[in-house]
Structure formats: structure tokens, C-alpha cells
Amino acid sequence: MNIAEVRGKCKSALARIPRDMLVIAILVVSSSLSFGLGYLAGQDTAGTSGTRLETAPQQVSTSEVGASTSDVGVVVSKNGTKYYLPGCAGVDRISDTNKVSFPSAAAALAAGYTPAANCKGL
């Protein structure tokens, strides 16, 4: 079978299908493929859009006092009731002897501390 014969068979097969049905079939298939590709593209970018909160490393125990604030999730004062992120201005006002580190905000909440109102990101 050569190319001319294949071309003739395709033309005869297409001639039997009504033109309107062919156009509708092409539209349905192309719109379905477009929707599917758009959905997949949205799935790829879903994890990167919006605000993403990352958990802090779990390297510091809750009983450690005076730990480096770069290794902790949140910092509290032994004498206070609020918890702060390590980069907040309130952490600088806590003396090193009173600093207590928690691995996460959830751990600080469980211990009875509340988020500081002046610390953005909490």
C-alpha cells in the first residue's frame, strides 16, 4: 500500500462522516485536551503560589534555656506569656538567661504561651 492509496482511503472514510459531526468531534476533543493540560499546569504551580509556612527544625528541646535563636522555631521568656519568632524585635528584649526555645508554635501553644501581637508572621 502506498501513500496515494492511504490518502484515498482516508478521503473516503471522511466523506462518510457528516461535516458537522466532524467539527463537533474536533471541538470536543480539543477542548477536553485544553482543559486537561490547564488542570495539570495548575497542579504544578499549586504548591508555589500563596503564602507557604515552613516548619522549624526540631533541633532544640523545650527545656533548653539560653539556646541560640537561629536553631529554634519560637522563643519565649520564662517570665512571660507570649512567644516570638527568632527574628522579632521582642526576642532582643528577652535576656539570655530567661530565653526558652520551642521547636514549633504548636509546642509553645501547648505549653500555655500565646502569639505576640507585634511579631509579624505568627
Nine cell digits for residue 109: 501553644
Q: Cα-flanking dihedrals φ and ψ of residue 18, to 5°?
A: -60, 140
Domain spans of the chain, in order of start? 3-42, 69-115
When pLDDT is cut at 50, 70 and 90, the band that residue 86 belongs to is: confident
Nine cell digits for residue 80: 512571660
| pTM of the predicted model over 0.85 | no
**pLDDT for 89-105, tens place per residue?**
888 888 889 998 999 88
